[in-house]
Amino acid sequence: MIFDIVIYLNACLAGSMLFFVSVVSPTVFKTLDNKSSSKFLRSIFPRIFFFGFVVSFTSAIISLYSSKFLEFYSLSFISLLFLINRNIITPKINFFRDKEIEGDVNAQKYFKLLHLISVIFFILNFLILILLLSNNSFDFI
């Protein structure tokens, strides 16, 4: 019964991630100019990553309490990636983007690399959540 909370939290997190990618991001780039979209995205990304951390960490703790160790380790990994994305990668992305705007040609390379890593972490988190949700629905493992 209590493990159902983990399933609901995981579904909520996966749905919010999908909503962000499919609705929020395209809308921002279509409706806001570069300066406004940059300001908005710099504000929202740390919040999205923090939200992902809180939800996945809460799910991990409940999974541990429910003795669901596959979920616990998977959700702990997801939590860690959200935390790294928020506290390490995002500030560096912003730093190198600012340097790129100032004319530093080397900064663009670092910006693109860190942005790619951030996107990979986000996709990896989403895929793990989908696998966990599928496993709990169809009992693969």
pTM to 2 decimals? 0.91
Q: Residue 114: helix, strand or coil by DSSP?
A: helix
Q: To 10 degrees, what angle do helices 105-138 and 90-101 make?
A: 150
How does DSSP classify residue 22? I
Domain boundaries, the chain: 3-84+123-138
% pLDDT > 70, the chain: 98
SS (H, E, C) 44-72: HHHHHHHHHHHHHHHHHHHHHHCCCHHHH
pLDDT mean across residues, the chain: 94
How does DSSP classify residue 115? H
- pLDDT of 96 strictly over 70: yes
